Structure 1
Amino acid sequence: MPSEYRQAPVPTALSNGVSAAGSTAVPAPLPASLRARLLARASAATLRPLTAVIPASPRGVWLSRRIVAGSLAVLGPVPAGTEVRRVDAGVAGGSRVRGEWVRGPGVASAGGDPDGTVVLYAHGSGYAVCSARTHRGLTARLSALTGLPVFACDYRLAPRHRFPAAADDVRAAHDWLVGQGARRIVLAGDSAGGHLAVDLTLELARAGRPVPAALVLFSPLLDPTLRLAAARERVRRDPMISAARARRLVELYTRGVDAAHPRLALDVAAARAFPPTLVQAGGAEMLVADAERLARSLGVAGARCVLEVWPGQVHVFQALPVLVPEAAAAVRRAADFVRAELASSARSREVS
């Protein structure tokens, strides 16, 4: 395993120079490849102008969903040998859990990990655009590399379903997994899914429930007002989308809700019993500011957090292995982190 995943918590200077006990800023193993740099330039010339003209409306969301689904199907294909099983299950209170079990090549279809360990994945894209299906290539690779089955939650999407529908659905998926016999849950997510993952962890901690065994967050959104992202954009433009455009998309979910609501303005620094967390972000994206703030806040809370800022990479580059060679390396490092944390917790249980 990479040595940084076995470090004891120590005060470490993060990439923006702020010291946070418990947080570790790890140098990315690879500089930006030529292909990654070309992707950022091409995105700035094509994708960013396109996102600027697509309206933040139901019709615009419909178009965005089809563009993103088609792009990820080509640029993040599902590995051959992946098994997928759809789930649509009723749960207490009349709500439903929807999503899919994803088992990457070589992951047993019957029961997965014998210790009852699973990954719960919350996809991103502004609470409005993506799905378990669009992220199947990423969840399949994460499954194959961890050796664990992944349950990708299909939470309800904005603008039809507003806050807290998505957060409630991720919580329902977690509780359903526990009811299905999951003993250890690794929580993972990207972008808005990262916000949902942190919210779920805080909610479980406040309720005195067991928190996930570990968190893996790709380009997580921490501030749904996009103020952190806007400040970052004043220093360096995101090649994919502007902070203003991203805020309009997120507001399809949060409109009418006080931005200070505790399930939107997540008080991570006050967290207790927060699990070990890996945060990966691209150096070219505006949400690197959110990733850095999250790592600092977890450090203040005394939680162990490993922050990786990958030079020159775009938002959720891990989902684009066809274009970006660093995508495979980043997901491999995430899987290494998961396996190391699970092994560490298993040893701790044996000692106790």
Structure 2
Amino acid sequence: MSRSRALTRLRWLARHLEKPVLARARRPWLHRLRTEPMARLLLRGRKPLAYRSETIGGVACRVLKGGGGTVFYVHGGAFILFSARSHQGLAARLAQPFGFDVVLPEYARAPEAAFPRALDEVTACYEAVAAASVGPVILAGDSAGGGLALALLHRILHRGLPLPAAVLAFSPWVDLTLSGPSIAANAKSDPILPANAVTMVRDMYLQGGFAEDPEASPVFGDFANGPPVLIQVCEDEILLSDSQAMARRIEGTGGRVTLQVLPEGLHAFQLFLGWIPEADRALDACDDFLRQILLSAPSSPAT
């Protein structure tokens, strides 16, 4: 299927306007001032959403009430950018077909907070959500948030916490050793992520932590007896290898995984739902994946 004009325009804008800025970014606070308002405007979805602020498990969250289950969404942004508010549109779209609640934790970002504080906060929030949910919990995230979601899944399995019914990961960053070959191979083809900035961003997050720790790099985790996982990634991203290695790891440790490698697109393009048809089609595939699982899922999180 040929690329839509909308995606072609978006890729051009990303390559010529956003990627050069990201490659030079050195001050996270200044970069947040630029990206957060833009993200909230462009990624909010097509209709107003009645989100409210709550504290869950000691963590500030954005919450949208539905009923019957919960989408627990961990926002991306290289561990340093964006917020729960910037990703409200995508999280609501995942929940809408099933009438679920939405919870987006406002976890502490780097460099102000070092690893593993973000994961600790996401875990505390998830535990409280899972304990209170009257239906299945869907764990989801994009980019660094997808990596945090999968690190959380590893921690859930390791600690015997309530299981989510399924996990959705969009272009997850899961290997902080930066050993994936696509970081170099796709450095030019990736229209938005600058390969020369990933080491700096990784170090802002880890701050002396070990990249090989599965709670930092879930690609080294153990996913035996875990729930089904869907990973979506584009073939020309620098993080393509991360998704491929993650899928192999889940399968190799006894987990269940579906990897969908999409034609050339944009990192975490699902955020642009309603703007590009490729995002809408990818999210339709998520709906199909979740429907198959939820038909046989228990009415509350399994232990």
Could you state the TM-score of these two structures normalised by the residue count of structure 2?
0.90
Superposed CA deviations along residues 104-158 of structure 1, whole A, max 9, x for unmatched, are xxxx4xxx11xxx211110011111111001111112122133211101110111
- 2:88 matched to 1:88? no
Instruction: Determine the C-alpha separation between the residues in 2 that align with 1:172 and 1:273.
Output: 22
8 Å CA contact 2:175, 2:211 repeated in 1: no
- 2:30 matched to 1:63? yes
- 2:193 matched to 1:231? no
- Identical columns (%): 30
Deviation at 1:321, TM superposition (A): 2.8
Question: CA distance change for structure 1 residues 297 and 63 in 2, over 3 Å: closer, same or farther?
Answer: same
Deviation at 1:294, TM superposition (A): 1.0
Deviation at 1:197, TM superposition (A): 1.0
Alignment-mate amino acid for residue 99 of structure 1:
C
**Runs of 4+ in structure 1 over 4 Å off:** none
- Name the structure 2 match of 1:12: none
From the CA coordinates, give the structure whose radius of gyration is larger.
1
- Name the structure 2 match of 1:167: 119
Of the three residues 58, 62, 82, the one matched with 1:100 is 62
Deviation at 1:183, TM superposition (A): 4.7
Alignment-mate amino acid for residue 83 of structure 1:
A
8 Å CA contact 2:154, 2:214 repeated in 1: no
Aligned-pair Cα RMSD in Å = 2.2
- 2:279 matched to 1:327? yes
Structure 1 residue matching 2:13: 3-state secondary structure = helix
Deviation at 1:244, TM superposition (A): 2.4
Structure 1 residue matching 2:119: 3-state secondary structure = helix
Instruction: Determine the C-alpha separation between the residues in 2 that align with 1:50 and 1:131.
Output: 19
**Higher RCO (C-alpha under 8 Å, 6+ residues apart):** 1
Could you state the TM-score of these two structures normalised by the residue count of structure 1?
0.79
Question: CA distance change for structure 1 residues 249 and 267 in 2, over 3 Å: closer, same or farther?
Answer: closer
Instruction: Determine the C-alpha separation between the residues in 1 that align with 2:250 and 2:271.
Output: 25
8 Å CA contact 1:69, 1:134 repeated in 2: yes
Of the three residues 23, 26, 41, the one matched with 1:52 is 23
Structure 2 residue matching 1:83: 3-state secondary structure = coil
Alignment of 1:96-245 (within 5 A): 96-103=58-65, 108=66, 112-113=67-68, 117-228=69-180, 229-233=182-186, 236-245=188-197
Query: Any stretches of 5+ residues in structure 1 without a counterpart?
Result: 1-29
8 Å CA contact 2:234, 2:261 repeated in 1: yes
**Which shifted more, 321-330 or 277-286?**
321-330
- Name the structure 2 match of 1:27: none
8 Å CA contact 1:283, 1:314 repeated in 2: no
8 Å CA contact 2:127, 2:161 repeated in 1: no
Deviation at 1:267, TM superposition (A): 5.0
Deviation at 1:162, TM superposition (A): 0.7
- 2:223 matched to 1:271? yes
